[in-house]
Structure 1
């Protein structure tokens, strides 16, 4: 009987707003067909796609596999898959189902069974082995799962036969994140156990008892902190391979075990390592086997390009006969090829989960006379929200189209394709420009690899005028920031390498024929490389790059001051950082606002004051003299996690600030906005904390008159009345991500004279809104 084993991706541990799982994060093979998927969202049901090679070598999508019963939007069908012979189990953890399919004589997959469970995340991982089925129910990224066992009866029904329960499993170790089984033996791993060293437990099937019983631990003498032993596993007959992609600074390794005939225990035999080892390679992130050849994925090879290592094994001695390296050709700079793998003697498929800005792809291969021939990448993206234009959609009965709302109408919506975006990218920051000659209004929309310029003068019929790509020396990044001065846009990006600050003359938007067009930058400022934000004081003509890194003059991540009074000729003006703030004590500023102060403190009237959200505290500085900037004061607050961003009231009396980490870390009961009274700039006073009914992470906020406009990751766009400054009251909202996922709002721009408000909605697109009077 042919066995095609389930193969798991390397566990994603970074806490960041992300899209749904990438295409190619689930792969399998059956005969000469590649089965791929994994790219799911909460808007549409999940699916797997079957690809077949043609005579010309081109791979064509031939079949779509989806749940024939109990399929629904957000079911995450295809998040896990396991093929055994002509039978396939597909996990749908969003609906707590596992669907069983059988291949008929024509090669089509027909649903033949289903297993369901009330446990949250049931179907996160599946293993099909003959008449045995193992299923993990995992409720969260760090949570321990439950592993349920099923056995197929003669009538085809799948009956529960208990759970695989291990003793002394540490909390938060991801027990059940990976499974493998063969020949009446099974192993369950917890790759985050023991400070991410990882751990695994063996089980064996007892026919007399009719259940799986514990059979000791599986351990390798080479594991250490961060190894992630068990992140991937593969069992074939009496052999077991265990991936350790985090081992030794993420160079990675694979531990090979052999089943001892006498003791029935797994004994360590050999360690496999990359023969071109480098830090971050992730060797062991995926495993596959065909005959006596073991395939090992290393998605971090060559700085994320990715590769697959091959080892021909002597199954008697468990020794290496020969080895090789498969490096993909003609792909992108960062593909993470080898994140997942599946193979038989005819075909192989490698998941490239970072392909197309992490949207992902599957790379198929055909075996021709012992040589693997690479095919073109294949992928299929789930359906998202379509653009809405042609007329306003009023918020009625708490909804506009399918978006929950109150007191905010949707004038239009542009999806990512209508913003001129490439596959896999998402929106981030946004700003606006009103042409002083034509009075036309433009949204300047930050996107992973470009800035899109959208004419929103007729807000129900927005027009994409053009795009400005990232600089040629930069790489795409989720962080981009834009501000405007003297009809020029100033654009920076964080985590983007040698990006610098782009300067773009917005007057070019006036006379564009046949939009959209691709623009070139007007000027470039290279004294910084990456920067998290660009702050501009329009009253003085100075810009302040904050969170600078990766090269250039970083100023410790504090204020990198730039004279932009001649917009096309920006010049360096100095540095300032408050060494009492920032996580590393360098004065790193995540965001800031700089103004000519006209608030209640007469000591600083007319001074140029910058208020920095500096990771650990609010920092106030007097930067009037660029050669001698001075710290005015520093203010902290309870339950600091990550001081993120804030904005002054029009009278400069109050400063409203958000903390990006307090909600996800459970430090507060709801979305928190901090309120500082700046009557005395030398001694800011925290006078209140607004705790919203939502619990989502807040992001950027801005103030106009007596209203505060907030963007929140999971709760979208919120409007608060601050007439009573210490006691804000929410008066309106528009939820840009009603089903979660990557559609949360990053930022908004509420300053157009028309009252139009433009809001970025993550991977969904651009929302053009208006608050009801």
Structure 2
């Protein structure tokens, strides 16, 4: 029954071009969701067939077109998502050797670097700039260059800031770090090996900008090494040094993780804990502000029991591909207290959220367009759009927001509203369309103080000195006979005439209250 449901959904939602399907009432085109819309879905067959695995993205610096690279058991498929409602399958780069369910892709300097667990596969290098000129799609591509200093490899990690790639889980260095200089992408050169912390399943390598001044500017690897997180100084490729290890309770397989953008925290997942009875999905939060002494700060327990696989952090949100539970998006504003909270999701495997190896393998949330590309092992590629809104500060709590103070999010935080209709966020009586209050202020934000906004004058006190006297009479006589734009007008009839003189004489000598 479960497989039948998935087949029906795949048939119903196979589109080459269609309108964005918003998440309404908890569904988008039949898929359970919250705050995430469905843009497009290409099935496995539409991507060349077979099972999908990892995914990455590239933006063409000439024109800004966006492309997805999605791993398949037989190779790597390339998809033009410049129009995310009408993605185009451009073609495939076949596996260098045989098929494998494991393939990984990263990008540096407009080149894709591709590894696989297939025997003797090595690392393929592919010039991505050729994607903009494909004709007769889909086509079969050829690799631009090849690196063969290892055979099989589980993942490829690239530090774009340094120009070094790190092959991990290969048949060299005991599965540890195999470092490659890719500063010239088509001529990769081995730069170092490190096996000191054992097998590395996946990693992130950065030029460190965190608060630990001992490592300011160093190149540091955060490696997921099956039963721990290993922090490694890789600055000197000929003398790589382990810094520290971090662990967590009930470890089964430390799989993958990603740093927050300030390099203060590292979020990690365990791929085998759920199927070993630890309960619902767990996301581990490590405090790495002291690289010599990292520690587990908190654990976020999800609402489902699905296996977590790959996660990435982008602009304060954690994007997790949790197999059968699909894409889960967590908000991290309270991460310093060890807390995360789920704010959005898109379930690409609606039949079940159980702990099985089906559904979403990975995702790529870094496109400037806001599109999130999600790979589904059996069902291909999903293009999704999180419904991130703009909220505006409402310091005076009048229900109208300051257009100059805003933030983005899925839900409105305290003190913010979803409109920008205020022009003075210190006064509750000032906003676009506000009625006049007679206080001589621009209540309605139109740039003028008119009508009911004006302070009411004392009748016939033309100079506003608080009494009706000879000075006011002088003003009246000076304007006598005015028939247009009359500023001296005691009875508000638009003229200055004998009727105004009559009103004035009736209050002459009387002080204003």
> Under a length normalisation based on structure 2, what TM-score does the superposition of the two structures give?
0.73
Cα pair 2:119 2:152 within 8 Å, conserved: yes
Q: Structure 2: state its 5+ residue gaps.
A: 389-513
Partner residue in 1 for 2:133: 511
SS in 2 for 1:611: strand
Cα pair 2:261 2:314 within 8 Å, conserved: yes
Cα pair 1:742 1:764 within 8 Å, conserved: no
1:713 Cα deviation from its structure 2 partner: 1.1
For 1:422-441, what aligned pairs fall within 5 Å after superposition? 425-441=50-66
Matched, 1:536 2:158: yes
Aligned equivalents of 2:164 and 2:266: distance in 1? 21
Partner residue in 2 for 1:657: 268
SS in 1 for 2:130: helix
Cα pair 1:391 1:461 within 8 Å, conserved: no
Aligned equivalents of 2:85 and 2:358: distance in 1? 21
1:589 to 171, 193, 200: 200
Cα pair 2:307 2:357 within 8 Å, conserved: no
For 1:189-338, what aligned pairs fall within 5 Å after superposition? none
Partner residue in 2 for 1:642: 253
Alpha-carbon displacement from aligned partner over 1:524-547 (angstroms, at most 9, x marks no partner): 000111111000000110000000
Partner residue in 2 for 1:42: 2
1:475 Cα deviation from its structure 2 partner: 1.8
Aligned equivalents of 2:281 and 2:19: distance in 1? 33
1:644 Cα deviation from its structure 2 partner: 0.2
SS in 1 for 2:129: helix
Matched, 1:475 2:98: yes
SS in 2 for 1:444: strand
SS in 2 for 1:703: strand
Matched, 1:734 2:346: yes
Matched, 1:682 2:276: no
Matched, 1:450 2:60: no
> Under a length normalisation based on structure 1, what TM-score does the superposition of the two structures give?
0.48
SS in 2 for 1:509: helix
SS in 2 for 1:385: helix
Greater Rg, structure 1 or structure 2?
2
SS in 2 for 1:510: helix
Off by >2 Å, runs of 4+ in structure 1: 740-743
Higher helix share: 2
Deviates more, 1:386-395 or 1:402-411: 386-395
1:577 Cα deviation from its structure 2 partner: 2.2
Cα pair 2:9 2:30 within 8 Å, conserved: no
Q: Structure 1: state its 5+ residue gaps.
A: 1-40, 45-72, 75-381, 580-586
Matched, 1:491 2:109: no
Aligned equivalents of 1:612 and 1:743: distance in 2? 25
Aligned equivalents of 1:384 and 1:405: distance in 2? 15
Aligned equivalents of 2:288 and 2:328: distance in 1? 24
Higher strand share: 1
1:743 Cα deviation from its structure 2 partner: 4.6
**In the superposition, relative to structure 1, how do residues 470 and 384 fare at CA in structure 2: closer, same or farther (>3 Å)?**
farther
Aligned residues: CA RMSD: 1.3
1:383 Cα deviation from its structure 2 partner: 6.3
Partner residue in 1 for 2:311: 701
Aligned equivalents of 1:644 and 1:456: distance in 2? 29
**Which protein has greater RCO, CA pairs closer than 8 Å, 6+ apart?**
2
Partner residue in 2 for 1:392: 20
For 1:26-65, what aligned pairs fall within 5 Å after superposition? 42-44=2-4
Aligned equivalents of 1:43 and 1:449: distance in 2? 23
Aligned equivalents of 2:183 and 2:19: distance in 1? 40
Partner residue in 2 for 1:612: 223
Partner residue in 1 for 2:360: 745
SS in 2 for 1:530: coil
Aligned equivalents of 1:664 and 1:770: distance in 2? 30
Partner residue in 2 for 1:410: 38
Q: How many aligned residue pairs are there? A: 380
**In the superposition, relative to structure 1, how do residues 483 and 570 fare at CA in structure 2: closer, same or farther (>3 Å)?**
same
Aligned equivalents of 1:565 and 1:501: distance in 2? 15
Alpha-carbon displacement from aligned partner over 1:45-72 (angstroms, at most 9, x marks no partner): xxxxxxxxxxxxxxxxxxxxxxxxxxxx
Alpha-carbon displacement from aligned partner over 1:157-179 (angstroms, at most 9, x marks no partner): xxxxxxxxxxxxxxxxxxxxxxx
**In the superposition, relative to structure 1, how do residues 438 and 739 fare at CA in structure 2: closer, same or farther (>3 Å)?**
same
